[in-house]
């Protein structure tokens, strides 16, 4: 008899951030196929005022833990909400049976440590999925020194958590060396499940037929788009610098959609240079993704130097589903670089080199039929490896 899945992740339906989209689509499909699923999540950042603590959504039992984010009016309230979710998760873990099938993800980063402690006390086994790797990721972007006491303590706690885990699931092949080398995890414990996207892979639409291109006045330009989070792992300033280098190319425009801690500084940089070849948009509703992602000829993926192995930009897979060429400014050993080069769906340039990225943009702008062919390859590769149906098969085998 199949065991029910006890799934711990802070974001889930109806939250609209990427992690919520990934797991909402995955787990509802597993539930609709007859698998018992309980999700222990927090409250979304918006629209949480009337959400119940318990509900069933498409067969998934949802248990919302911690403080309602409607209280997040200050840093204190946000911290209280975060800590209360961790506390609620630990309390829920302490009620699980010894034979429970427990699965957690790095959202939030300290979930691994809670699972380790609760499993010691309750005796259950757990599987753990690394979306990003902490504290190594923070060290790579300069927010935490590898020589600090905090880094050493966090790493030691993680080592205990990894050692006790039944399986460690990674979204990128580049994550495996850190686990095997730094944490001495046996390769047979590590399971690579390719990233997936909740978006349906369909025949790529023509850019010229996209209504959003008409709305934004971009139909007559070669459009390069960045869509999604502008956060820790992404060099948004470098993308703006690329736009600056191409400011004299009247036929090229950049479309930046999304938000994050690096957006404000990047917009200031663009304003300081007086750039008029960038269009900035906030996050769009989920229902518009089918129009917004194909509103370009080529899509940008950014991963800062040294961040291979600690993060996998999920935006790659939505772009592949939309059938657009990829311009990946990422480390050569990263999962994104591997995926792009294996499928021939785009060009890879090194991080921190806006001139190389600008040259790649020009290459595609001067060969639009070549860019279109790359987009078709992206769509075919997505249908072959990265659909949510493929993810359901992978996780069904993992949970068997």
Provide CB contacts within 8 A for 206, sequence distance 6+.
Answer: none
pLDDT of residue 69: 59
Q: What percent of the chain has pLDDT over 90?
A: 83
pLDDT value at position 79? Answer: 80
Phi, psi for residue 388 in degrees, rounded to 5: -65, -30
- pLDDT higher at 75 or 27: 27
pLDDT tens track for 233-277: 999 999 999 999 999 999 999 999 999 889 999 999 999 999 999
Please give the biggest Cα pair distance in the chain. 65
Instruction: Kindly give the interhelix angle for 75-93 and 111-122, rounded to the nearest 10 degrees.
Output: 30
Is 49's pLDDT higher than 80?
no
Please, which pLDDT band fits residue 73 given cuts at 50, 70 and 90?
low
Looking at the fold, whether 15 and 95 belong to one and the same domain comes out as yes
* Residue-level pLDDT at 288: 87
Same domain? For 184 and 304 the reply is no
Q: How would DSSP label each residue in 104-160?
A: EESSSTTHHHHHHHHHHHH---EEEEESB-TTHHHHHTTSS-TTSHHHHHHHHHHHH
Same domain, yes or no, for 183 and 221?
Answer: no
Q: Above pLDDT 70, what percent of the chain?
A: 97
Element (H, E) at 236: helix 236-245
Task: Say which CATH number the domain at 99 has.
Answer: 3.40.50.2000
Residues 254 and 379 in one domain: yes
Burial bucket for residue 175 (CB in 10 Å: 0-12, 13-18, 19+)? buried
pLDDT above 60: residue 132: yes
Say which range, 69-73, 91-95, 332-336, 382-386, has the weakest mean pLDDT: 69-73
Is there a single domain that holds both residue 130 and residue 211? no
d(C-alpha 228, C-alpha 197), whole Å:
13
Question: What pLDDT shows up at residue 39?
Answer: 99
* Model confidence pLDDT, tens digit, residues 297-333: 999 999 999 999 999 988 899 999 999 999 999 999 9
Asked if residue 137 and residue 221 are part of one domain, the reply reads: no
Residues 34 and 120 in one domain: yes
Model confidence pLDDT, tens digit, residues 189-236? 999 999 998 776 667 778 989 999 999 999 999 999 999 889 889 999
Number of other residues whose CB lies within 10 A of the CB of residue 342: 10
Predicted confidence (pLDDT) per residue in 380-397, tens digit: 999 999 999 999 999 999
- The reported pLDDT for the residue numbered 68 is 82
3-state SS class at 18 = helix
One domain for residues 271 and 174: no
pLDDT value for 201: 62
Q: Taking the model in full, what pTM does it have?
A: 0.89
Show Cβ contacts of residue 147 under 8 Å, excluding neighbours closer than 6 positions: none
pLDDT of residue 297: 97
237 and 376 both lie in a single domain? yes
**DSSP letter assigned to residue 213:** H
**Does pLDDT of 360 surpass 60?**
yes
Residues 134 and 12 in one domain: yes
User: Which has the higher per-residue pLDDT, 68 or 38?
Assistant: 38
pLDDT at 104 over 80: yes
State how many domains the chain has. 2
Query: Do residues 157 and 13 share a domain?
Result: yes
Give residue 327's domain range.
207-385
Do 129 and 277 belong together in one domain?
Answer: no
């Amino acid at each position: 008899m199949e065991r029910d899945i006890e799934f711990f992740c802070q974001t889930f339906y109806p939250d609209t951030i990427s992690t919520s989209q990934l797991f909402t689509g995955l787990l509802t499909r597993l539930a609709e196929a007859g698998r018992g699923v309980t999700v222990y999540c927090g409250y979304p950042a918006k629209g949480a005022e009337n959400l119940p603590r318990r509900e069933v959504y498409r067969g998934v039992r949802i248990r919302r833990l911690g403080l309602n984010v409607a209280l997040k009016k200050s840093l204190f309230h946000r911290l209280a909400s975060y800590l209360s979710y961790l506390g609620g998760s630990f309390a829920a873990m302490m009620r699980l049976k010894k034979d429970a099938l427990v699965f957690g993800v790095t959202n939030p980063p300290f979930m691994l440590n809670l699972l380790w402690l609760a499993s010691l006390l309750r005796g259950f086994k757990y599987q753990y999925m690394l979306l990003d790797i902490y504290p190594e990721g923070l060290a790579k972007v300069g927010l935490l020194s590898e020589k600090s006491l905090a880094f050493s303590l966090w790493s030691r706690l993680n080592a205990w958590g990894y050692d006790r885990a039944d399986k460690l699931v990674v979204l990128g092949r580049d994550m495996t060396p850190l686990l095997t080398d730094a944490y001495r995890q046996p390769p047979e414990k590590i399971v690579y499940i390719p990233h997936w996207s909740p978006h349906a892979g369909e025949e790529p639409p023509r850019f010229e037929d996209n209504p959003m291109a008409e709305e934004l006045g971009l139909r007559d330009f070669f459009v390069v788009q960045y869509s999604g989070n502008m956060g820790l792992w992404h060099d948004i300033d470098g993308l703006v610098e690329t736009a600056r280098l191409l400011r004299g190319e009247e036929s090229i425009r950049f479309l930046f959609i999304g938000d994050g801690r690096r957006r404000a500084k990047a917009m200031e940089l663009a304003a300081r240079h007086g750039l008029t070849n960038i269009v900035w948009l906030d996050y769009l509703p989920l229902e518009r993704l089918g129009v917004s992602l194909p509103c370009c000829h080529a899509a940008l993926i950014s991963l800062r130097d040294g961040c291979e192995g600690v993060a996998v930009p999920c935006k790659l897979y939505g772009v592949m589903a939309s059938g657009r060429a990829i311009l990946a400014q990422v480390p050569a050993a990263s999962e994104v670089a591997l995926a792009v080069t294996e499928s021939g769906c785009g060009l890879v340039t090194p991080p921190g080199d806006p001139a190389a990225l600008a040259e790649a943009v020009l290459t595609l702008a001067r060969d639009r039929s070549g860019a279109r062919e790359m987009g078709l390859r992206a769509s075919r590769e997505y249908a072959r490896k990265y659909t949510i149906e493929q993810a359901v098969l992978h996780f069904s085998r993992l949970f068997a």
